[in-house]
Amino acid sequence: MPRDHELTELLRRTSRTFALAIPMLPEPRHEEVMVAYLLFRIADTLEDAAPWSRDQRIEALHDFVELMESGSARDAAVLGRRWREAGPSDHEGYLDLLDATDRVVAALDRLDPEARSVVRHHTIRTCRGMAAFVSMADRKGRLRLHGLEALRTYCYAVAGIVGEMLTELFLMEGPEVRSVEAEVRRRALFFGEALQLVNVVRDVREDGREGRWLLDERIDRETVLHLAFRDLKAAAEYTRFLQEADAPTGILSFTALPVRLAIATLEAVRNDGPGAKIGRGRVTAIVGRTMVDLANGSPPVPATGWPGADVPWDEDWRPVLPPPPWEAGAGPPTPEGFAAKRSVAESPIGEA
């Protein structure tokens, strides 16, 4: 399948880490993951639309779900123009992506049927989860989470589902990768949670300015940092299982690079506080080191030498997503309800 240069440019303009990692993937995974990333970025833009009210965001996410379920590229063009004109963001890349919603949906329709079904299904799941959390906000869209359970469930809705979707796409590589299916499925949601927790602790001040208070002030920051490092341990194990299964080098690079960058970012935040980032020179060095290590057969992510490398992760935790507000009888979920929702799901995918 020839690469869509317009979508590639949109990827570059709407992402940092994944714009580096996605081009490393072999086909058809490259095209599948790029389309999936752009769909999830559209959902993120609708969820995070600071100028919009709570109800506007919920309506947009509902429309996006309906588009994924039964809409056409023509429907996508109408929605994309409407969303852009409503001004959900001042980020030009995000606005141009909304304007190209029809191109992204057309690219989704060109995917292999199995991959298309996977991407569509998980896009719907994350939109439903996002809408449930948006419904907890006040009328102006300001959201305040209470407790670690709510934070973890939020991270699952916006990122843990991504880990599960990617895992299903990687398992299409063949019997070698499927030989470690149980191991990577168990770690998939923690992979996503880890990357999102890094964003949360790094961007806490910016999120607050935009009306999102995801870190409960009663939760010690060190507790969240510790959880993030533990999750990164699960993510590192995920990459090693793929390596043991002889997964393509491009998949190993794609999975290892975000983990290594997240470890470096989390260490910077621990040392320098919220807002700390790693510079371009450090990013370039991490990319180069990752490529060298994989070429030499070394672990995709070092097994030692970073906080959390020797700490067991919470492998029994499974989230239960609250329903979206448009379902019959589903009132806005309450933050206090999360403690009661904690359970161990029988399926590694969780709630559909």
The pLDDT assigned to 329 comes to 56
The pLDDT assigned to 330 comes to 54
Taking residue 340's Cβ as centre, other Cβ atoms within 10 Å add up to: 10
**Arithmetic mean of pLDDT over the chain:** 89
- Least confident among 165-179, 197-211, 242-256: 197-211
Same domain, 157 and 280: yes
Tell me the average pLDDT across 160-174. 97
- Which residue's entry shows tokens 């020797």? 310
Three-state SS at 190: helix
pTM above 0.85, yes or no: yes
The one-letter amino acid at 225: L
Number of alpha helices (DSSP H) and beta strands (DSSP E) in the chain: 17, 2
Confidence of residue 349 (pLDDT cuts 50, 70, 90): very low
- Domain end call among 93, 119, 141: 141
Same domain, 129 and 163: no
Q: Tokens representing 21?
A: 């990692």
Closest CA to 234 of 149, 163, 158: 163
Any idea what the CATH number is for the domain that residue 212 is in? 1.10.600.10
Confidence of residue 347 (pLDDT cuts 50, 70, 90): very low
**H-helix segments, 211-248:** 221-244
Query: What does the alpha-carbon distance between residue 342 and residue 81 come to, in Å, rounded to a whole number?
Result: 40
Residue 340: pLDDT above 80? Answer: no
Task: Provide the greatest CA pair distance for the chain.
Answer: 56
The pLDDT assigned to 331 comes to 52
Same domain, 120 and 32: yes
Query: What does the alpha-carbon distance between residue 161 and residue 128 come to, in Å, rounded to a whole number?
Result: 11
Tell me the average pLDDT across 165-178. 97
Calculate the CA dihedral of residues 179, 162, 61, 149 and round it to 10 degrees: 110
The one-letter amino acid at 179: S
Tell me the average pLDDT across 13-36. 95
The pLDDT assigned to 342 comes to 33
Same domain, 175 and 311: yes
Same domain, 164 and 266: yes
Residue 338: pLDDT above 80? Answer: no
Strand partners, 213: 144
- Domain end call among 141, 164, 188: 141
| CB 190, CB 159: distance < 8 Å | no
**What's the pLDDT tens digit per position in 92-111?**
999 999 999 999 999 999 99
The backbone region for 237, taken as left when phi is positive above 0, alpha when psi lies in -120 to 50, beta otherwise, is alpha
Confidence of residue 346 (pLDDT cuts 50, 70, 90): very low
- Domain end call among 123, 141, 159: 141
Query: What does the alpha-carbon distance between residue 27 and residue 146 come to, in Å, rounded to a whole number?
Result: 42
Distance of CA 22 to the CA centre of its chain: 14
Same domain, 216 and 344: yes
Same domain, 211 and 313: yes
Same domain, 239 and 209: yes
Q: Tokens representing 330?
A: 């589903």
Same domain, 130 and 172: no
Query: Is beta strand 143-144 parallel, antiparallel or unpaired with respect to 212-213?
Result: parallel
Query: What does the alpha-carbon distance between residue 126 and residue 121 come to, in Å, rounded to a whole number?
Result: 9
Query: What does the alpha-carbon distance between residue 53 and residue 137 come to, in Å, rounded to a whole number?
Result: 9
Three-state SS at 23: helix
Q: Tokens representing 246?
A: 């002889």
Instruction: Give the residue numbers spanning the domain of 47.
Output: 1-141
Same domain, 211 and 333: yes
Number of domains in the chain: 2
| CB 170, CB 247: distance < 8 Å | yes
Same domain, 249 and 275: yes
Query: What does the alpha-carbon distance between residue 258 and residue 164 come to, in Å, rounded to a whole number?
Result: 16
Same domain, 256 and 117: no
Residue 24: pLDDT above 90? Answer: yes
